[in-house]
Amino acid sequence: MRRGSVLTLVAIGVVAGGLATAVAVLLPWLPTPASREAGRIDFVIWFVIGICIFVFAVVIAALLYSIVRFRAAPDDESDGPPIHGHTKLEIVWTIIPTLLVTAIGIVSAVVLAQNDAQGSNVLHVDVTAQQFAWSFSYPDSGNLTSATLRLPKDRSVLLTLHTKDVIHSFWVPEFGQKQDTVPGLTTTLHITPDRLGTFPVVCTELCGLGHALMRSTAVVMEPAAFQKWIAGQTKATSSPNPATAGNAVFTNNGCANCHTLTAAGATGKVGPDLDKLVQEAKQAGKPLAAFVKQSITDPSAYVAPGYPDHIMPSTFGSSLSPQQLDALVSYLVSSSKKG
Ligand code: CUA
């Protein structure tokens, strides 16, 4: 190739590469990371995409150049010149990909090692998945349970994941990692949240009828606010005041995600309206308190007309302590009578 042709080729490659890089970098393809791990994973993604853009631009530039420069005339039916390999070219196109793939391997290995390295003072959180709800408990704080995943900023968090039924998958897009929950297995996920905010917790494994509803939220808080929340929750769930204790059980077990209850400020629309429990109990032909208790521990026993069966977890009878269950029942009974 003549010198001028090579310069044209390089110019086309640079322009095409610049355009492709602008599209890749200027559009918001990925959520803004909210954990150190997600930041590192994003770095790997862009590192690999940058290499892909470079290779793609070079190939397309050579292709476009050849189409224009070496196009045969319409009446030219002669054979091309006999060419037999080009050793230098073959060495170059073997060495460059080898270097690129090795670089990707090294960068990925470093990031994986960094992401798995737990800091000191790890916060342990047990994550329980079931059709179709998440619950989170804090073994370092007397197994306090919560329906939202609250985490302190800039502290190593080790999630230990279990499922009560089928395979689910834990995912907070802003944390950048997914982890399956598998029957009979314990899986773990290490996260170091580094941005305050509220982020969605998504089930990302098709797990049944209510899969799309299996959502919660993760809240990253200042460490002091997190400690205050832990202390407040511990106090509320063991409160001698049944309304306070019942409200805490209601909130911590995620009831508000699906049900409306004015007393708790809950506006969920997936399950029956709990402000109308008095009417529902009448329709089911049961005394109010017994009806409420049965609906919590055995939700399929009476399914309110217009609502699907098997959406509400059937495990509250065993996951709640008898005291928590009683507090929740009396809280719901008294709230719905007011409502
Ligand atoms: Cu759980 Cu999808």
Work out the pLDDT band at 339, boundaries 50, 70, 90: low
Q: Tell me which residue has its CA closest to atom 1 in ligand 1.
A: 168
Confidence of residue 1 (pLDDT cuts 50, 70, 90): low
Distance of CA 142 to the CA centre of its chain: 26
The encoded tokens of residue 29 equal 């393809």
The amino acid that residue 301 corresponds to is A
Q: What is the pLDDT of residue 38?
A: 94
| pLDDT tens track for 200-255 | 999 999 999 889 989 999 999 999 999 999 888 877 777 777 778 888 888 877 78
Residue 4 — very low, low, confident or very high, per pLDDT cuts 50/70/90? confident
> According to DSSP H, which parts of the chain are helical?
3-26, 36-69, 87-116, 223-237, 242-252, 255-258, 277-284, 288-297, 316-319, 322-338
- Does the domain spanning 123-234 belong to CATH 1.20.1740.10? no
| Omega prior to 70 cis, within 30 of 0 | no
Q: How far is the CA of 201 from the centre of ligand 1 (A)?
A: 11
69 token code pair: 């420069």
Q: Please, what sign has the CA dihedral across residues 253, 256, 261, 266? A: positive
178 lines ligand 1 (CB under 6 A): no
* Cβ–Cβ under 8 Å, residues 150 and 227: no
**207 CB near ligand 1 (under 6 Å):** yes
Q: What are the backbone angles phi and psi of residue 278, rounded to the nearest 5°?
A: -60, -50
Gap from CA of 135 to ligand 1 centroid (Å): 13
Q: 158 C-alpha to center of ligand 1: Å?
A: 21
Do residues 170 and 245 lie in contact, with contact meaning Cβ atoms separated by under 8 Å?
Answer: no
What is the chain's mean pLDDT, rounded? 88
Tokens of 298: 């055995």
Is ligand 1 within 6 A of the CB of residue 203?
yes
- φ, ψ of residue 291 in degrees (nearest 5): -65, -45
The continuous run of DSSP H or E covering 192 comes out as: none
Task: Supply the pLDDT for residue 242.
Answer: 75
Nearest 5°: the CA angle 174, 175, 178 is 110
Helix axes 288-297, 322-338, angle to 10 degrees: 130
CB count within 10 Å of CB 270 equals 15
First to last CA, the chain: 85
Tell me the pLDDT tens digit for each residue of 281-321.
888 888 888 888 888 888 888 888 888 887 787 778 777 77
What local confidence, expressed as pLDDT, does residue 256 receive? 80
| pLDDT on residue 57 | 83
Residues contacting residue 218 through CB under 8 Å, at least 6 positions apart? 148, 149, 150, 151, 172, 175, 193, 198, 199, 200, 201
d(CA 255, CA 272): 11
Give CATH for domain 238-338.
1.10.760.10
Residue found under tokens 């790890």: 122
Q: Report the pLDDT value the prediction gives residue 160, as an integer from 0 to 100.
A: 96
Report DSSP letters for 263-281, one per residue: GGTEE--SS--GGGHHHHH
Percentage of the chain beyond pLDDT 90 is 38
Q: Say what the pLDDT of residue 142 is.
A: 78
Quote the CA–CA distance of 111 and 21 in Å, as a whole number.
23
Average pLDDT over residues 21-43: 88
Q: Give the per-residue pLDDT at 82.
A: 84
Nearest atom in ligand 1 to the alpha carbon of residue 211 is: 2
The model's pTM is: 0.70
Instruction: Give me ligand 1 centre to Cα 305, in Å.
Output: 25
The C-alpha angle 125, 131, 135, rounded to 5 degrees, equals 20
Contact status, residue 93 vs residue 26, Cβ threshold 8 Å: no
What is the rounded CA–CA span in Å between residue 29 and residue 6?
A: 34
- In this structure, the dihedral spanned by the alpha carbons of residues 171, 172, 174 and 179, taken in order and rounded to 10 degrees, is -30
pLDDT tier at 265 (50, 70, 90 boundaries)? Answer: confident
